[in-house]
Homo-oligomer: A and B are copies of this chain.
Amino acid sequence: MDLWIIICAMNVPERYPSKLLEDAVQAIGSLPGVGKRSALRLALHLLRQPNENVHHFAESIVRLRDEAKYCKVCQMISDDDVCSICSDNSRDKRTICVVENVRDVMSIENTGQYHGVYHVLGGIISPIAGVGPSDLTISELVERVREMTSSAADIPSEVEVILALSGDVEGETTSFYIYRQISGYGVRVSSLARGLGFGDDLEYADELTLGRSITGRQPFKP
């Protein structure tokens, strides 16, 4: 009898005391990684905030969607036609770092160690997720490399394309695909160094990473 009540209770659809609340919870719950319970918690939080805060919240999201552009050169999200990195004359335009998305750009920028420009693919080749080369900005990258190498100003061997994609199967596949597309132009193609992270323990490193650390060893700089 008790078990039956529990099974019945589990099958009852969530009842909201207000249609407005239900709509908001459904909207927030449509975000990736936000469950129904979190969505309800967030909706009730917003309900308790000052009116102007909530309006500002909604407005900033709508403005992002409506007004954000993609840089004509590197395809990164940007407020203008050409992003702040591509229009910065102090950056080395002959070094192009190919990344999956804008988050990777921000991660690399935060290191303060890179002074070239970027190319944002907007994803990674993944047959499982149904993402093919044509869904990404690979053709734009090839065109960009072609233009650079065909202009008199740049010697192909002085142009470097860094494939800064993740180290999983999809990343390696995408890297290999891009390499085949651009290697004909005579540019240098490099990839990120793989090895032990700073502070990593040899004992707990996986074999692949440790193996790459050994084969890719570097002269010791004291």
Interface residues of A (CB under 8 A from B): 1-2, 5-6, 8-9, 12, 14-21, 23-24, 26-28, 30-34, 38, 40-47, 49, 51, 53-68, 76-79, 83-85, 101-103, 105-106, 109-113, 198, 221
Contacts and interface: CB of A to CB of B under 8 A. Distances in A.
A65 B85 contact: no
Nearest to A23: B60
Contact of A17 (B24, B56, B84): B84
A65 B83 contact: no
A51 B66 contact: yes
A120 to B, nearest CB: 9
Given A14-B106, A32-B42, A20 B64 contact: yes
Given A23-B60, A33-B38, A38-B33, A17 B54 contact: no
Nearest to A123: B48
A19 B79 contact: yes
- The secondary structure that dominates the A interface is helix
Contacts of A8: 112
B110 A14 contact: yes
A68 B5 contact: no
A96 to B, nearest CB: 16
Q: How many copies does the complex hold?
A: 2
A37 to B, nearest CB: 8
A79 B45 contact: no
A28 to B, nearest CB: 7
A17 B20 CA distance: 35
A24 B33 CA distance: 18
Given A43-B61, A54-B65, 17 more contacts: A1-B221, A12-B110, A15-B109, A17-B83, A17-B84, A17-B85, A18-B79, A20-B63, A20-B68, A23-B60, A24-B64, A26-B60, A33-B38, A40-B103, A49-B65, A54-B62, A58-B62
A65 B109 CA distance: 38
A212 B27 CA distance: 41
Nearest to A84: B17
Nearest to A62: B58
A153 B23 CA distance: 39
